[in-house]
Amino acid sequence: MKKLDLKDMIVNIDLLLPHKLQMTLKSEPGKTIRPFEVITEVFNLPEEIIKQASIVKQGTVRNTRNA
Amino acid sequence: MSIKTIQDILPLVEKPSRYLGSEINRIKKDHSKIKLSIALAFPDLYEIGTSHFGVQILYNILNKHKEIAAERIFAPGVDMEAYLRKFKISLMSLESHKPLNSFDIIGFSLLCELNYTNVLTILDLANIPFFSSQRDLSYPLIIAGGPCTGNPEPVADFFDAIVIGDGERVIMNIARTWLKWKDSCKDGKENLLKMLSHIEGVYIPAFYEPKFDGSGFQTILPKFSQYTNVKRAIIEDLDKAPFPDAPIIPYGKPEHDRLRLEVSRGCTRGCRFCQAGMLYRPVREKNITTLLEAAEASIAATGYEDISLLSLSTSDYSCIAPLMASLMDKCESRHIAVSLPSFRAGTLTPELMNQIKRVRKTGFTIAPEAGSQRLRDVINKNISEKNVIDTVKYSFNLGWQVIKLYFMIGLPTETDDDLQSIIDLVKELRKIRGPIRQRGKINISVTTFIPKPHTPFQWAPQISLAESNSKMRWLQNNLNMPGIHFKWQNPEVSLLEGLLARGDRRLSHLLVTAYKKGCKFDGWSDKFQYQLWKESFSEAETDVDFFTTRARDMDESLPWDHIDIRITQEFLKKEWENAIKGEHTPDCRWGDCSDCGVCDFNDINPKVFERNKEETTKEIQAKNQIKPFYKKLKVSYSKQEQAKYFGHLELANIFFRAMSRAKIPVKYSEGFHPMPRVSFEDPLPIGMESLNEAFYIIVPDDMKSKAIVKNLNKHLPEGLFINDCRLAPAKTAINTSKLSTYLVTLKKGFFDKEKLQRFRKNAEFVIFQKKERET
């Protein structure tokens, strides 16, 4: 098990609509978090609901703030 | 949960791409424009069924007709099955997601007796009654074909019609007959069955009545005097038979993930245990020109990187050396490997093996079947210990590192000495070293011999479960040595297979009983439940020994007597006598006729080409080509809709093959196993869509990026789209962090605002992540 602080990994998280969420996640070598994990941990939704959700990756950029 | 269709279930099950039906080369027709719909059902998982060449042949033949639509259906995985049952969703075809019970005909491929319970699963999930007698015209016509129909009796009650022999000979006749019957206002099911019974190779079980005497012996009585037996349909000339040169490329990891090229059908080596060797006689070879043309067309249509030469014994194909040389000449520069999945020890020369390894080394399997020469003589497996040893020597010397050997236990007349001979032979093989003195790995696979109908051993007893277990354990203990990996088939599975192989019509009730108890996927070791079968034997009052361990009297009537596969009983009896005497029967393809009864010497003859006597190993000419300059490109793509269900390796294969079909000359790595120089960015988890992913390719400097985008997009399945292709940055930063943005939309329910606020207010939010996550 690896200990992670989600506050470090979630750069941005916004509710666009009650059922629609946008989030920006930071990843670095050896330290990544997936949207599935974020929704599970933050919203504590049942696995089947999350599995049926549509998750679309909008894009990736290099993190120039830390680079 | 809001689950109404299979699409809703896909995010919840393993390997969802199994159920998409959007593969390259699949055919989807508008059902409003067709007159006959046929579902080709394979009673095993997608990965097994898509590897079966017969389904591809029939799919190709039927779909060539504009009035006919053929679609596929496979046994769903147990997770999918559970959801279908829970939400009362009917099983549907892959191509158009049409409910199975709305097809006109459902045709099952019966390749293995252990799939029988899966036939019932498929029927049940389509809300179709199991027994033919329970189905009226409101249900599809249920038919079957495949090697198991040599003895169709255990499943005869389930089917309206059963095809005996080569399906491509019969399938269009069935389709035309059905259309004719439909045009005549669908005049009664019995009338349709009568029309079908006139087709050679079609068995109508309802037109035969089983009678049982006091001792349990079945006699099958025809109801009509002009329909007393069913003759196997044979396709005389394979060169004229339709070949599926644009086969469907399955998703995921199918059992045979390569292009299959059938070089011949039938084998007359005469191994006395081998049912396929009897069922598919005579040998019918394809012309080398036909094969090369088919290979060229199929590679262009699929982009496969492996070709497998298909037949019962590929190295017996008379022109194998020139075929291999020609294929390799075509394939080597394109990095396509050619493999021979089945061959006999003694027929594979070092020259031939040199050809095979010109691209990369494919698997290598030898089947001595028995350890001693005496027992190999009994079974007419005419290979010597020297043949086996020499073949293993050649292969290790040429760089192969793993050899697989097949043996059987429980063959007629087997003694303890014969089993000891397996150990002795393996010990001899262990001594063989490769060129740098390294020892190869030897995988030994052992199964219990199952006497099969229409073979000279059809009267022989199968060994008991206890004996089988004891022999397996003895072999396992004695083969416990370094470099040897011992694998064996569960004797309980063999017992069930033996029971169903030589059973009679009473077994249909056993199958239903077992199915209702939960038996399914009996060929899968993790799903097989012998305890449930034992309970079923008892409930259905099945005397297992009667069908398995009992030696048959040569004069007793057998449940498959009315199925005429064209081999005479006299031949089988003579072969049984020869087996007991250990006498050899030569292969008729190169010698005298062995009088088995199959050939009529008018239409049906062995078709064998003259053996090529030319030097087969052309020196591979060093190609004096100027090496091109290469460049690295970054290809950006989107992965949406159904494509979200592709796993990473699956996606990589889809792109490799699409690039091959699009004729994009990607550079290959060097070494024993050349691979395309393609690298992907971080894999996406299954189920996630992306607007912009990327992979990198190395291609000749003169390749135009725009051409890559245009051509590649023509060859991708639904949901994948190339957005851009440009020169890759000189150095890709590896150790920097990245920011990825995601949009999440719930199909049901809402995100809790308060929980989000709580998260935002917390100074930290610690979680514990499993180190190995599924992607």
**Residues B652-672: tens digit of each pLDDT:** 999 999 999 999 999 988 776
On the 0-12 / 13-18 / 19+ scale of CB atoms within 10 A, B5 is exposed
**Which residue in chain A is spatially nearest to B762 when comparing CA positions?**
A7
Contact B654, B646 (CB under 8 A): yes
Phi and psi at residue B611, in whole multiples of 5°? -60, 140
Q: Which residues of B touch A60 (CB under 8 A)?
A: 692, 738-741
Q: CA-based diameter of chain B, in Å?
A: 91
B261: pLDDT strictly greater than 60: yes
How many alpha carbons fall within 13 Å on the CB side of residue B560? 27
Phi and psi at residue B41, in whole multiples of 5°? -105, 135
Q: Which residues of B touch A63 (CB under 8 A)?
A: 736-739
Q: Which residues of B touch A41 (CB under 8 A)?
A: 765, 767
Alpha-helical runs (H) found in B111-253: 116-125, 153-156, 167-183, 189-197
pLDDT-derived band at B362, boundaries 50, 70, 90: low
Please indicate whether, in this complex, the C-beta atoms of B742 and A56 are within 8 angstroms of each other.
Answer: yes
Please indicate whether, in this complex, the C-beta atoms of A1 and B771 are within 8 angstroms of each other.
Answer: yes
Find the radius of gyration of the CA atoms of chain A: 13
Q: Which residues contact B278 (CB under 8 A, 6 or more apart)?
A: B454, B455, B565, B567, B596
Q: Which residues of A touch B742 (CB under 8 A)?
A: 22-25, 35, 55-58
In this complex, is the C-beta atom of A59 within 8 Å of any C-beta atom belonging to chain B?
yes
Q: What is the pLDDT of residue B734?
A: 61
What angle, 0 to 180 degrees and rounded to 10, lies between the N-to-C axes of helices B385-397 and B416-430?
Answer: 30
pLDDT-derived band at B74, boundaries 50, 70, 90: very high
Please indicate whether, in this complex, the C-beta atoms of A42 and B771 are within 8 angstroms of each other.
Answer: no
Q: Which residues contact B194 (CB under 8 A, 6 or more apart)?
A: B204
Q: What is the pLDDT of residue B622?
A: 44
Which of B743, B748, B764, B772 would you mutate first to test chain A, the one with the most A CBs within 10 A?
Answer: B743
Structure-token pair, residue B63: 């779909």
Please indicate whether, in this complex, the C-beta atoms of A4 and B749 are within 8 angstroms of each other.
Answer: no
B236: pLDDT strictly greater than 80: yes
Please indicate whether, in this complex, the C-beta atoms of A56 and B11 are within 8 angstroms of each other.
Answer: no
Q: What is the pLDDT of residue B655?
A: 96
Q: Which residues of A touch B645 (CB under 8 A)?
A: none
Q: Which residues contact B285 (CB under 8 A, 6 or more apart)?
A: B238, B263, B264, B317, B318, B319, B607, B608, B609
Please tell me what DSSP assigns to residue B462.
Answer: P
Task: Say what percent of chain B tops pLDDT 90.
Answer: 77
Please indicate whether, in this complex, the C-beta atoms of A20 and B746 are within 8 angstroms of each other.
Answer: yes
Please tell me what DSSP assigns to residue B13.
Answer: S
Q: What is the pTM of this model?
A: 0.92
Mean pLDDT value across residues B447-469: 98
Q: State the pairing for strand pair B738-745/A54-62.
A: antiparallel
Q: Which residues contact B157 (CB under 8 A, 6 or more apart)?
A: B130, B131, B132, B133, B205, B505, B508
**Which residue in chain A is spatially nearest to B642 when comparing CA positions?**
A54
Which one has a higher pLDDT value, A65 or B323? Answer: B323
Q: What is the 3-state secondary structure (H, E, C) of B602-614?
A: CCCCCECCCCCCC
Q: What is the pLDDT of residue B592?
A: 86
**Which residue in chain A is spatially nearest to B3 when comparing CA positions?**
A52
Phi and psi at residue B625, in whole multiples of 5°? -85, 150
B527: pLDDT strictly greater than 50: yes
CB neighbours (10 Å) of residue B545?
14
Residue showing tokens 């070598």: A29
**Which residue in chain A is spatially nearest to B739 when comparing CA positions?**
A26
Please indicate whether, in this complex, the C-beta atoms of A53 and B744 are within 8 angstroms of each other.
Answer: yes
Q: Name residue B581's amino acid.
A: K
Task: Say what percent of chain B tops pLDDT 70.
Answer: 94
Quick: pLDDT tens for B389-403.
Answer: 988 888 888 778 888
Q: Looking at B123-127, B339-343, B537-541, B600-604, which range is the least confident one?
A: B339-343
Phi and psi at residue B562, in whole multiples of 5°? -85, -5
Between CA B42 and CA B51, with CA B46 as vertex, the angle to 5 degrees is: 80
Q: Which residues contact B88 (CB under 8 A, 6 or more apart)?
A: none
Contact B637, B722 (CB under 8 A): yes
Peptide bond into B451 cis (omega under 30): no
B564: pLDDT strictly greater than 70: yes
B425: pLDDT strictly greater than 80: yes
Please indicate whether, in this complex, the C-beta atoms of A55 and B743 are within 8 angstroms of each other.
Answer: yes
Q: What is the pLDDT of residue B402?
A: 86
Please indicate whether, in this complex, the C-beta atoms of B745 and A54 are within 8 angstroms of each other.
Answer: yes
Size of interface A-B (CB pairs under 8 A): 187
Q: How far apart are CA B313 and CA B342, in angstroms?
A: 5
**Dihedral angle of Cα B221, B223, B224, B225, to the nearest 10 degrees:** 30
Q: How far apart are CA B70 and CA B61, in angstroms?
A: 9
Phi and psi at residue B203, in whole multiples of 5°? -105, 125
Identify which of B403, B407, B342 has the alpha carbon closest to the alpha carbon of residue B379: B407
The order of strands in the sheet holding B337-339 is: B259-262, B306-310, B337-339
Please indicate whether, in this complex, the C-beta atoms of A53 and B693 are within 8 angstroms of each other.
Answer: no
**Dihedral angle of Cα B464, B469, B470, B472, to the nearest 10 degrees:** 120
Find the radius of gyration of the CA atoms of chain B: 28
Q: How far is B636 from chain A (nearest CA, A)?
A: 11
Q: Which residues of A touch B12 (CB under 8 A)?
A: 48, 51-52
Strand-pair partners of B740: A25, A60
pLDDT-derived band at B358, boundaries 50, 70, 90: low
Q: What is the pLDDT of residue B774?
A: 41
Q: Hey, is B658 helix, strand or coil?
A: helix
Q: Which residues of B touch A2 (CB under 8 A)?
A: 768-771
Q: How far is A46 from chain B (nearest CA, A)?
A: 10
Which one has a higher pLDDT value, B196 or B628? Answer: B196
Q: Which residues of B touch A52 (CB under 8 A)?
A: 1, 8, 11-12, 747-748
Please indicate whether, in this complex, the C-beta atoms of B737 and A26 are within 8 angstroms of each other.
Answer: yes
Structure-token pair, residue B243: 């070949």
Mean pLDDT value across residues B159-167: 98
Helix %, strand %, coil % for chain A, to 5?
30, 45, 25
Which one has a higher pLDDT value, B620 or B684? Answer: B684
Please indicate whether, in this complex, the C-beta atoms of A23 and B11 are within 8 angstroms of each other.
Answer: no
Contact B281, B232 (CB under 8 A): no
Nearest neighbour of A49 by CB, restricted to B739, B749, B771: B749
B750: pLDDT strictly greater than 90: yes
Work out the mean pLDDT of chain B and round it to a whole number.
91
In this complex, is the C-beta atom of A47 within 8 Å of any C-beta atom belonging to chain B?
no
Structure-token pair, residue B440: 């190869």
Q: What is the pLDDT of residue B244?
A: 94
Quick: pLDDT tens for B591-601.
Answer: 789 999 999 98
Q: Which residues of A touch B737 (CB under 8 A)?
A: 26-28, 62-63, 66-67
pLDDT-derived band at B125, boundaries 50, 70, 90: very high
Q: Which residues of B touch A49 (CB under 8 A)?
A: 1, 746-749
Between CA B225 and CA B233, with CA B228 as vertex, the angle to 5 degrees is: 135
Mean pLDDT value across residues B159-175: 97
Q: Which residues of A touch B761 (CB under 8 A)?
A: none
Find residues 8-37 of chain A whose CB sits inside 8 Å of chain B: 11-13, 15-16, 18-29, 32-37
**Which residue in chain A is spatially nearest to B761 when comparing CA positions?**
A7
Q: How far is B100 from chain A (nearest CA, A)?
A: 25
Mean pLDDT value across residues A33-43: 94
Q: What is the 3-state secondary structure (H, E, C) of B401-449?
A: CEEEEEEEECCCCCCHHHHHHHHHHHHHHHCCECCCCCECEEEEEEEEC
Q: Name residue A58's amino acid.
A: Q
Q: What is the pLDDT of residue B219?
A: 87
Q: How far apart are CA B553 and CA B536, in angstroms?
A: 28
Alpha-helical runs (H) found in B718-768: 753-761
**Which residue in chain B is spatially nearest to A1 when comparing CA positions?**
B770
B113: pLDDT strictly greater than 80: yes
Q: How far is B757 from chain A (nearest CA, A)?
A: 10
Q: Hey, is B214 helix, strand or coil?
A: coil
Q: State the pairing for strand pair A20-27/B738-745.
A: antiparallel
Quick: pLDDT tens for B12-44.
Answer: 999 999 999 999 999 999 999 999 999 999 999
Phi and psi at residue B125, in whole multiples of 5°? -70, -15
Q: Which residues contact B641 (CB under 8 A, 6 or more apart)?
A: B689, B718, B719
Structure-token pair, residue B251: 């998703």
Mean pLDDT value across residues B533-562: 96
